[in-house]
Structure 1
Amino acid sequence: MTSPRQRIGSPATRLLRATAPLLVGATLVAGPAHAFDQAQTSEIETIVRNYLIEHPEVLLESLQALEAKRTAEAKAGQGETIAELRDRLVSSPDGTVAGNPEGDVTLVEFFDYNCGYCRRAASDLQVLLESDPKLRVVYKEIPVLGPPSEAAARVSLAFREAKPDAYPAFQKTLLGSRAQVDEARALEVAAELGVPESTLRPLMGGTAVAAALNESAELATALGINGTPSYVIGDELVPGAVGADALAQKIASVRACGSATCPPAAD
């Protein structure tokens, strides 16, 4: 992703937080804090210290359990948010649809024309669209990389409004760029595809373009998206250019169990 999430706090800090319940639990077993005299408190501390020295793996297990719990809670909350936003994600006219309009699974991609990972990931979606006739893709333009990206997105959305049938070619050309994509480059590609600047300029400042950009920004904020590409598949947000195989697996899971990650089969 162009704007990766950062993990807050050092490993030591996270470790202390993870092991705090263990220490508290050991204390509670012995009794309320006000019931201990100094000798008893010292004895409890020694027991806990010795146990952790003899069984250091408990610290790692505690940290892993905490991380797993937080991940599960975040995923559950994320799924609820996606469900609430489902119609805006998959059915809003402000998105651009590719693939099978009546597809049984919809993949939503948030992208930026100047995102290097988005450019690499464009071929992943092309592979999926060519190999999966039941797949529906919705593109959401989210210019997170500054003014050049925002200007290019305005040209792009104006072009889509003026000549929607040629939008896939326009998008493919810009995502195939090696240099920065700005307003001038986007207007150049638009002209090559038959839409002059004089047609696009009024549309770039119009309500349709503004509505599309605003909706993408609102959805990204609600989902906690802070980088591109990011995908919504089923009930999951999938951040980063994870590759065609990983995306295909998520799509297959949605078809199999209704979720992007199916529960493990019972023994």
Structure 2
Amino acid sequence: MQRAPSGGRVRSKLVGRKLGYLAGLLFGTIASASNSHAEQIDRGQIQTIIREYILENPQIIEEALTQLQLRAQKAEAEAKSAALLAERSALLESKGDIVMGNPNGDVSLVEFFDFNCGYCKRAAPDVAALVAGDPKLRVVLKDLPVLGPGSVEAAKVGLAVKQVAGETTAGEFHKRLMDSRGRIDGSRALQVAGKLGIDTQRLKSVAATKEIEVQIYTNLDLAQRLGVTGTPSFVVGNQLMVGAVGQKPLEEAIRATRK
């Protein structure tokens, strides 16, 4: 894993940049507030006034930086909500995705997952509990194989299971792979499928088709457009939740979406 630069140096640089921005903002505000005053006071005098005011009231720096951060967070949240709304059809209506729970549910929980993701395995019981306890919940499973060639192979088999054996069997296949330990690749996925009574030769043939490959790339492109960089990531309504956040936060997001 690539490490970020030292936290202290990064903070110092960021604060310096923000202070420069703040000073420029204050200068512009003072200069534009009264044109007649701006003509009588030169730039040096204005800078002296700003400096003296900041030294006498240093708390305004923290207050200003806090406001800048809050504005940035709000803008980011609004951008994510807009992106989720724009991609609603791609999130909820892809025919290749495996759907668990109520196919006609009033709320959809979308999960981007990788069969080799430890956190996805940790989140799997939470998702299963939500499905078991909420008869109106629809869960959409989107393969996002980002953890190597083995994950891609397993994803292809998983998507092929739906075509060959149907939605219910595909859901059971997903659960069994999520319960599996160790590295999962195409061979492991085919073994699990065989234990479910699926024709593995036919499954291999379907998994190798262009249609399955396109679906995986479609999911990868969608994740990139939404800013999803890891698994698991959940989408509920206009919320994007990253990581194994737990059952309760997901329940709260589902409840908020219903309201």
TM-score interval for Structure 1 and Structure 2 normalised by the shorter chain: 0.7 to 0.9
- Distance in 2 between residues matched to 1:126 and 1:241, nearest whole Å: 13
SS of equivalent residue, structure 1 residue 247: helix
Equivalence for 2:140: 138
Q: Which of the residues 187, 190, 202 maps onto 1:187? A: 190
The structural deviation recorded for 1:50 is 3.9
Q: What is the letter of the counterpart of residue 141 of structure 2?
A: Y
Aligned equivalent of 2:153: 151
SS in 2 for 1:212: helix
Matches within 5 A, 1:98-137: 98-137=100-139
Unpaired segments ≥5 residues, structure 2: none
For residue 41 of structure 1, report the CA deviation from its aligned partner. Answer: 5.2
Shift of 1:185: 1.1
Distance 2:169 2:243 in 1: 27
Cα deviation digits, residues 181-209 of structure 1 (max 9, x gap): 11121111111111243121111111331
After TM superposition, the runs of 4+ consecutive aligned structure 1 residues lying more than 6 A away are 34-37
Is the partner of 2:87 in helix, strand or coil?
A: helix
Structure 1 pair 179–57 and aligned structure 2 pair: CA distance change class (3 A): farther
d(CA) in 2 for partners of 1:147, 1:54: 60
Match of 1:178 in 2: 181
Please give the alpha-carbon distance, in whole angstroms, between the structure 1 residues aligned to 2:165 and 2:142: 17
Q: Structure with the greater relative contact order (CA < 8 A, sep ≥ 6): 1 or 2? A: 1
Distance 1:180 1:36 in 2: 74
**1:19 and 2:19 aligned:** yes
What SS is found at the alignment partner of 2:228?
A: coil
1:63 aligns with 2:65: yes
Out of 210, 216, 237, the position equivalent to 1:213 is: 216
Q: What does residue range 28-43 of structure 1 map to in structure 2 within 5 Å?
A: 28=28, 29=30, 43=45
CA distance in 1 between partners of 2:62 and 2:184 (Å)? 46
Secondary structure of residue in 2 paired with 1:129: helix
Q: 1:67-95: per-residue Cα shift (whole Å, max 9, x none)? A: 22122212222222222211121112021
Per the alignment, residue 237 of structure 1 pairs with 240
Contact 1:117–1:229 under 8 Å retained in 2: yes
Contact 2:96 2:159 (C-alpha < 8 Å) held by counterparts: no
**Aligned positions, number:** 250
CA contact (8 A) 1:14 1:63 kept: no
1:44-59 matches, within 5 Å, as 44-59=46-61
* Deviation (angstroms), 1:59: 2.3
Question: Please, what TM-score do these two structures have when normalized by structure 1?
Answer: 0.84
In structure 2, the CA distance between the partners of 1:53 and 1:211, relative to structure 1 (3 Å rule), is same
Give the equivalent residue in structure 2 for 1:90.
92
For 1:112 and 1:211, how far apart are their aligned partners in 2?
17
What is the TM-score of this pair, normalised by structure 2? 0.86
User: Root-mean-square deviation (CA), in Å?
Assistant: 2.7
Residue 44 of structure 1, CA deviation: 4.2
The 1-side partners of 2:192 and 2:53 are apart by 68
Q: Percent identity?
A: 36
Specify every segment of 5 or more residues in structure 1 that has no aligned partner in the other structure, as ranges: 257-267
Q: Which has the higher helix share?
A: 2
Cα offset, 1:20, TM superposition? 3.1
Mapped to 1, the partners of 2:185 and 2:255 lie a distance apart of: 37
Q: Bigger CA drift: 44-53 or 242-251?
A: 44-53
